[in-house]
Structure 1
Amino acid sequence: MGFLNRLFGKKEEPKRQLDHPSKLIKGDHISLDDSFALPPQLRGQQLRVEAVNTYEYQRKQQTEWVLKGHSGDAIFLGLDEDDETYLALSIKISRGQVEQFFDLDQFSEIFEEEGKAELTTQPLAADLNDYEQWLSPHYHQVTSGNFGYFHRQDYRGLRPPQDADGATGEPFESYQLLDDNEDKAVDVEVYESGDTDVMLTLYRPLSDIREYWPGQ
């Protein structure tokens, strides 16, 4: 009977292989390297995928994973795919922090038609040292007013809704500035509602994710 049970019995579902950030789904966990090359908000953190969102542009889609750890602060993960694939790790900063980190006259030039803003980071106060590794001394603008839709859903392998009367996502325009080494960025998203999100981004090797755990 044991042989027959094995022959005709229900086969176990194969375990999900989770070995790359592109495979992460809601409920999965990762742990990051504890190297001092990472800022305190990332160093050695264990993070859970709380949501998977989609940025839809005219010619491409980009997935965003929203991660949270013990602090409850959101870390946004994307993948920068060119000749090699890098992690794009971002944190959102407030208007007050924008004023502390940058000259507002320089910052306002990001939205000019020419799209050639230059940003110089201002000296940080002692209580802002946790942000030092997120910032570079100088940035130059590389994109201006790229139009897209933000979807609070995972559309990997799918086409987001196109019906004007349906859930087409939140319209926005994106702007990006890179530092001189192109391993840090300032990303700005301006939504149709008038809301503006400003994020500091680090580009890091995939190996900074040391472990993966599939969710239950």
Structure 2
Amino acid sequence: MILMALFRKYIAYAVLAIFLAAWGSYLLWHEYLLNNPSPLRFIHLNTFDILNFGLYFLVGSLLYFFRKHLPLKGSIALLLFGAFMISYGLSSGLGWVPLMAIGWVRYIFLPYLIIYLGMQPSIWKSFDKLGDLSYGLYIYAFPVQQVLITFFLAKGLSVMSMFGLALALLLPLAWLSWTFIEKPSLKLKNKKLSLSMFLPASKSIRTPLH
């Protein structure tokens, strides 16, 4: 238990250090990698995408690691939203700060808002009738999006179009996964499994008496 606690502690600070390094140097790598991407074709991403999307992932991880010190509150979400709108107005509207500076606030605001909304049961209560689709949406999102990019990106598929099409495909996939894989599997977690459960029932053989 002590080793696990130390491991988690150092992992949390390692993730924090990586985030601060990437986030703090945002203005240095953003423009260069955006104009000079190194494609990773097997996953349809490039070095810019890895850093860009990776920062959102790191913030989500940090919100979990430091959840005791970073509570999810509506007031904090509103404060971050206000900071995002101010940064957008100062950059896009007035031109007082570089447009790229929005990223400094965006990388923190969006993950916090999404996780905050995701943790509000009143918002998602109506979805309970369909089952827990969260895991299915999570594991199938990437392959579905990659398939859509492979076949439709050259045809001018926009980001919002891909989002809508991916969601339309993911919802039934997640429901099928929950209904026929996840839910039956969860019912087995408290049962003691033995080899006899997976073997066909054998008929008892009686030895004839002479």
Give TM-score, length-normalised by structure 2: 0.20
Give the number of the structure whose residues are more often helix, by fraction. 2
Q: Which has the larger radius of gyration?
A: 2
Give the number of the structure whose residues are more often strand, by fraction. 1
Give TM-score, length-normalised by structure 1: 0.20
| Bigger relative CO (Cα 8 Å, ≥ 6 apart) | 1
